[in-house]
Each structure stands twice: as C-alpha cells, then as structure tokens.
Amino acid sequence: MPMRRLPRFSLLSGLVLCVGLLAGPLAARADDAACLKCHEDVKLNSAPHAEKTCVDCHTNITPEHKGALPDDQKLTGNQICAGCHGMAAKQLPKSVHAEHTCKKCHGPGHDVDATSSPESRLSPVNQLKTCGKCHDEVLPGFEESVHGKGLLKSGLTQAAPSCSSCHGSHSIQKKDDPKAKTGHEKVPDTCGSCHELVLKQWQEESTHGALWKEGKDGPVCTTCHMDKHMVRDPTSAEMRKHMPGDCGGCHEEGVKTFRDSFHGKATELGWTSVAMCSDCHTPHANLPASDPRSSINPANLEATCGKCHEQEVKSAGFLTFDPHVKPHDPATRWEIRWIYLFMTGLLLGVFAFFFIHDFLWLQRALVGKLRGEYKAGHGGSGPYVKRFSNAQIWLHVSIVVSFLMLAVSGLPLKFAAAPWAEKLMSFLGGAHAAGIIHRIAAVITFGYFGAHLLMVVWGAFVKGEKGYFWGWRSMVPQLKDVQDFFGNIKYFLYIGKRPEMDRWAYWEKFDYLAVFWGVGMIGVSGLMLWQPGFFARFVPGWVLNAAYIIHSDEALLATGFIFIFHFFHTHLRPESFPMDPVIFTGAMPLEKFKEERPLEYRRLVETKQLDTLLVPAPEAATLKVAYVFGFLAVAIGLACAVGIFVALWGQFFG
C-alpha cells in the first residue's frame, strides 16, 4: 500500500518545534559565552553541573547587567541550589547546620563533585577534612577508632562508616535531640544499619535492649562503645581495661567489687586473657542471673566459667565462688565477714602498736645519740663475736631475696589502680610474667621455711640441744620479754633506764614468730589461689573467697611491717644507722655486743664460752658485699613502702 504523503504544513510544524526546543539551550550557551568574556577565570569543573548553564544558577542576572548587582537582585547560594535540590533545601534549615551554606560543605558551585566520587569534598574519606574544619576536636579520636582505621588505613570506604553514615547529611541534629541519628532513641538503629546481627541479639536477648525498646533510659551502643568518637576494638587491651569503667556508670557496686577481685586488678594492669564484665555477662545478651538464658544463671555457670577454667569447673566447690563478694556487707556469709573484720583489725592493730612504739623509740634514740649514750659502732679491727652460722646467713639471704620478689611482683596487683602499678608490672614483663616470678618466690619461701624447721628438729630432737622451746636462747616469748617491753617504754619516756637485753629482744621474737604466722597464712591461702580447682574438690567456694582476703591483707601486713618497722628495728634506728651488717657477716664487734646484749655477754664470760665465739673482723670484700646487698634490699623495700603509702593515700583521699 503506498505511503500517504504527510501534509507540507506538518513537516513545517515539526521543524519549528525542534528549533524552538533547541533555541533556549542554544541561547543559554550563547549567554555562557557572553559571561565568559568578563568571567574568563571561571571554569565549570563540576561533573554534576556539566549540563547546567550560568543562568540556571545565576537566575537574576540579565544580559544587560554591568558590574555588581544590587542586593535585591541576588539570591543566596542555598536558594539557588534549592531549585534542583529541593529535599536537601527543606531539611537543612531544620538541622544544626541551618546557618551554613551549601558551599561550605560541598565547595564552590563551579567545582562540585558528585558525593559518590572519591574526589568529592564529601566522599567518605574527604568528609573528615571537610567536617573537621569545624569539628577538629573529634578527629584524633575517630582516626584512631576501628571506624577510622577501617576507612583511612584499610580503605574500606563501602564498609567503614564516615561522618554522614552516623550523623546523616542535611538533617543533622544535636546529639541530645530526639530526632538525632546518634541520640539515645535512634542510635541503635543507626549502628544496626551495619551491625545487624548484633542489633537483633541486643534487642531480643539483652536487658539493655529491652529497656531501650520500652523507651527507658538504659544504655545503648554509644554508652559503652563511644568515647569522643574513639570506638575501640572490643578485643583490644585498652578497650578491655576501659570497659569496666563504662559498666560502672550504671553498675557502680558491681564494678567496685570487680575492681577488688583478681579479675578486676589483672584487667586494670592490661592482662587481656583475664575475664572482665563482658566475658561473663556477655556483651549484647546480658540478662539477670534469674533468667534461664543468662550466662550467669547457675545452670550455665559451668559453660561460662569453663571458657577460662576448663579443669577447675569440674570441682564441686569452684562454681560457688563469688566473684563479686562484698566482705563488709552484713548479707555476706558470716565466715567471710568475720575473717575480713579479723584481718582488718589485725592489720590496723599491728601498725598502730608499732607506729607508737617505734616513734617513741626514734625520738629517744635521737636524744641518746646526741648525748653520746651509744658509743660502740659496727666497724673496727677489734675482735668480733660470732652470732650466726653460715647456714643461718644463707637462710636469711634466701628470705630477703624471696620476700622482695614476692613484694615487687605482688604489690602491683594489690594496688592495681595506683599510678605506679602498671609501670612496675610492665617492667616485670607484664602480669603473666609477674605471676611466674611470684610463684618462684613462693617456692623459695616454702623451701627456706622447711629448711628452718628441719634445722630446729635436727638440733632439738636429733642432737638433743636444749633451749629451743624455753630459756634464754628460745624464740618463745617469756616473762622477761614483757618486763623488757615495759622497761623500754619507761626508757623511751625518760622515766627509767634502758633494760638489759639477752640473746633475743622482744621485737626480734615478734619478727621471728611473724614469719611463722605469715608463711602459714600467706602460704596456705596462696596455694589455694594458685590451685583453686584442686582445693575446690574439698572446700566450698566461700573458702576461696576467704583465702583471697587473707592472702591480700596478710601480704599488706607483712610487706608494710618488714619495710617500715623491721627495717627500723634492725638498720634505720639511730644506734644502727645506716645498716647493721651482722646478719650478712655473721659477726658483730665485741664492744657493740657488750653494749646491746649485756646479759648474754656476762653469761658467756661466766661460762667461759666467749673466747670460743671470738673471730677476726670480716674482710673488706665481705663487708663490701654485705653493704651493697643490704643497701639494695633496703632501698627496694623503702621504695615499696612509699608505693604502698601513695596507693593507700590515693585510695582513701584521692
């Protein structure tokens, strides 16, 4: 069928229509050329605006204008952009950035890149620089966060969030505004846009999520994870150390008891393998112990504790150990409470007694020194009196070495929050290495304790020597010691003469018997804490709680007493200052022996045994070793004493 020819007027109409449609753009392009005659420095580098012409944005400019436009002919940048970006223009005036112009964030209109372009000022990476012009205080935290590292160091621009991912773009609100994406009401959904599975678990299986769904003021993502945009890796040592403090914002009492526990102290010192809050209570499915689904429900404790204590949980008593015990609480088991009160009373009583005793002694000794009452010294070439055997010397050296090892490795754990604790623990190689040092020292302690008992048994029962359990050579306190004590008090108060001492003074007997008490209390409790699974087969969990209290308080009593009072009794009192080396050389000058032990001296003279105990003065090399070792031990001990004082001051007054 032949095609019908279109009417001539139809072809003409179509041609006119095409020309009309093209006339505007052609004219606009002509206007652009006209504009560039005066604005030749302007170059349109904006890909999103490549199809735009000058008059699309500069709508009030007429071809006839010359120079600057009158104010009533200008449109603001935001009004111009609103012609195409209506939704953004509607949101911006209601946001926290209402006073800002589009240009402030997107850049000049002639040089705007699509936000999807890596070159854009608002690309995921470049946002940091753009937003940082006003919010520079948050940049350091974000750059070191897991989000910042993923974005900047790993290049995960599609996975790691940038500023707008969390805060939005044109509708950003202040964080305390209910409409803010980072506010309490909406932040779980904001974070959940990336962490979908975590959000689901948190909403459905967590007390925290339940509070949020009910519109209550419970913790949300930023409560635990945010610190000035520093969202940390939850497995890092820094985060694990930081987390108990975050939990403490709501669970103050729980975190306090946690800080007092081994778990809490080790966590404070950066031991990442030790359990902290989220390890037991779970991070996003935390439920009360009464809930059957809870990780701390009695039915689930074996699985929860077994993650770290695989063997120990098989012991019957282990799971009844209370990691959040409150020994001072009347609701706590009476055994634990009374042990706590006894140890606290013992600690305060001993310190108070010897503080008063030694203060009185110090002032009287200073007066005596000034008056010249103490004439004999530690040196001289005259005859010396043998006081200790070589076995006793080496036994004491082992006591000094092991005790210092125990103190230096144990005190940082005791006072984990002290400013010096973490530094000292780091010097020792970390908490794990310090634990190894502590156990080696414990083995040495049991060794010298056992060796001494064998020496006593051998002398008293095998050799048949007399006086181990009573008499002038015995370390058992007797009536003479009571008389000497009151005699010394009168001497200290200037109302009596200095009492004459025999082989052992009452304070030396106290020091000696304190070792028996201390090794027994610290040693047995330490063994229970070292091998809790073994002992939990025979004792209930509360006994382990009691062992922790005893070990901690008795260790403080021992270190404080040795480094303050024992050092004063033996080395730092004016009569002996700066050091009495007799325990390291085994002998002391005869003149000093006569002055300090007159009863023993007269007995040896009367029984004609003195000559058998006279020995030459120690060689210079022997004295040098004794003084170097002794001064080093005293210096370490005094440093520990200062550390204890600083820690206690911060604990009670900081």
The pLDDT averaged over each successive group of 10 residues in the chain (654 residues) is 50 52 51 70 72 74 56 58 82 85 82 78 85 87 86 76 88 85 90 92 92 88 82 82 85 92 90 89 92 94 93 91 91 94 96 97 94 78 90 94 97 94 94 94 95 93 90 93 96 95 95 92 95 94 96 95 94 89 93 93 94 92 94 96 94 82
CA distances from 231 to 126, 127, 163, 341 (A): 20, 18, 13, 43
CA dist., res. 23 & res. 98, Å (int):
39
DSSP per residue, 612-637: HHEEPPPPHHHHHHHHHHHHHHHHHH
Q: What is the pLDDT of residue 1?
A: 44
pLDDT of residue 22: 47
Note whether 505 and 499 are within 8 A (CB). Answer: no
Residue 641: closest CA among 568, 574, 564 = 564
pLDDT of residue 149: 85
What integer pLDDT is reported at residue 15 of this predicted model?
A: 52
pLDDT at residue 46 in the model: 72
Phi first, then psi: give them for residue 343, nearest 5 degrees: -65, -40
Q: Which helix (H) or strand (E) holds 448?
A: helix 431-457
Angle at 158 between CA 152 and CA 163, to 5 degrees: 60
User: Rounded CA gap, 402 and 399, in Å?
Assistant: 5
Q: What amino acid occupies position 244?
A: P
Q: Domains in the chain, ordered, with CATH? A: 242-308 (no CATH), 334-653 (1.20.950.20)
CB neighbours of residue 216 within 10 Å:
9
- What is the C-alpha to C-alpha distance for residues 87 and 108, in angstroms, rounded to an integer? 20
Coil/strand/helix, residue 362? helix
User: pTM of this prediction?
Assistant: 0.81
- Of 159, 157, 125, 158, whose CA–CA distance to 143 is shortest? 125
> Residue 584 contacts by C-beta under 8 Å, 6 or more apart in sequence?
393, 396, 397, 625, 626, 629, 630
Q: What is the spatial distance between Cα 267 and Cα 271, in angstroms, rounded to a whole number?
A: 5
**Per-residue pLDDT at 359:** 97
Which segments of 133-215 does DSSP mark as H helices, in order? 139-143, 146-152, 163-167, 187-192, 196-205, 207-213
pLDDT number for residue 73: 43
